[in-house]
Amino acid sequence: MSYNLKQECCKPERFVGGHRLCAGCGAGVAVRGVLRAVNDEDKTVSGVATSCLEVSSVLYPFTAWNEGYIHSAFENVAATIAGCEAAYKARKRKGEQKDSYKFVAFGGDGGTYDIGLQSLSGALERGHDMVYVCYDNEAYMNTGMQRSSSTPKFAEVTTAPVGTEMPGKLHHKKDLTDIVVGHGVPYVAQTTFTANFKDLHEKAYKAHYTPGANFLNILAPCPRGWRYAPEDLMKICKLAVDTCVWPLYEVVEGEWKLTYEPKNKLPIEDYLREQGRFRHIITPQKVINPEAVAELQAHVDMKWKKLLAKCN
């Protein structure tokens, strides 16, 4: 099946317009991309952790979800959607289930890297037939841009502010995708919004149609928290990929594979200077804190080297 973005975009939307997510936000783009990869004959139930996506898409009595949707709490979307999947299995076994369904959990990085990690880990280990999608915008954007364990070092966030004694966040980002791989689930991938969305689409398709608990980590920038112009969403994502800050890869049954290798690996400055959250270390005009920039570059290089070793 050859991929054609135009054709894909002509499919009926499972997540429709009219929601209240910000212009330039990655969350809705991620949801539409992931659900587009579900075959026409299958319906979906999406579980959503408490998040921007949740509060913006289902304000009673309105909903942007044209299929099944459930929210129950913040830290439990994996267990909640696992319950839906268990119900589906049991109903099928009892001969009560007519329509064919796919089960997807969406959580932000707060709901996934932090408070929802236990629930995620349990669901992955138990192998429910579901896809967990983390839309990673690297902070608790819904509650006002607080640090999460996904926030990169030196980023300015409201609970790791820049001050006379502190340079923003003090710790590097947790490698959640690697942690998920450690669970030994069938399919794990890291993706974001690039070019014609082929990478995201193909990974989402594999995640949906590989039996078992599969995982997608999607870098989904936030214009408010990262401080970029809404129209620059795609540009920021491309820079994340080309600087190797957010490498695109998949792990199929434990086999690591790069799905994109930049021809020219760009310096991290190109990525950082586009974002207001790093303004205290670099601006479009100049580098303010060269040590910090060098440390981030060294960290990216180290992670990239390790990833290449795993993929070869």
Partner 1 sequence: MAAKSIRERLSGNEAIATAMKQVNPHVVAAYPITPSTEVVHYFAQYAADGEVDTEFVAVESEHSAMSACIGAQAAGARSATVTSACGLALMWELLYVASGHRLPVTLAVINRALSGPININNDHSDSMGARDSGWIQLYSENNQEAYDNYLMSLRIGEHKDVLLPVMTCQDGFITSHAIENIELLETADVQKFVGKYSPERHLIDGKPMSVGPYDTVMYYFEHQYQRAQAMNGAKKVILDVFKEFGELTGRKYDLFEQYKMEDAERAIVVLNSSAGTAKFVCDKLRAQGEKVGVLKLRVFRPFPMEEIAKALSHVKAVAVMDKADCFSAMGGPVFADVRSACYGLKDRPLMINFIYGLGGRDVTIENMEHVYASLSEVIKTGNTDNFYRHVGVRGV
Query: What residue ranges bind partner 1 (CB under 8 A)?
Result: 43, 45, 47, 54-55, 58-61, 63, 65-73, 75-76, 78-91, 93-94, 96-99, 101, 118-119, 121-123, 125-126
- CA 44, chain centre distance (Å): 19
Comparison of 75 and 114: residue with beta carbon closer to partner 1: 75
- Give, rounded to a whole angstrom, the gap between the first and last alpha carbons of the chain: 27
The HSE-up count of residue 185 (CA atoms within 13 Å, CB side) is: 32
Residue 155 contacts residue 172 (beta carbons within 8 Å): no
Q: How many residues does the chain have?
A: 312
CA torsion 300-115-25-41 (nearest 10°) is 110
Q: Tell me the three state secondary structure of residue 97.
A: coil
Least distance between partner 1 and beta carbon 66 (Å): 5
Comparison of 183 and 279: residue with beta carbon closer to partner 1: 183
Least distance between partner 1 and beta carbon 62 (Å): 8
Least distance between partner 1 and beta carbon 125 (Å): 7
Interaxial angle between packed helices 26-36 and 233-242, expressed in degrees from 0 to 180 and rounded to the nearest 10: 80
Comparison of 85 and 109: residue with beta carbon closer to partner 1: 85
218-228 burial code (b ≥16 CB/10 A, e <16): bbbbbbbbbeb
Comparison of 73 and 258: residue with beta carbon closer to partner 1: 73
The first and second tokens of residue 92, run together, are 């099928």
The first and second tokens of residue 208, run together, are 């949906």
Least distance between partner 1 and beta carbon 92 (Å): 10
Least distance between partner 1 and beta carbon 279 (Å): 32
Least distance between partner 1 and beta carbon 214 (Å): 18
Query: DSSP character for 278?
Result: G
Comparison of 113 and 154: residue with beta carbon closer to partner 1: 113
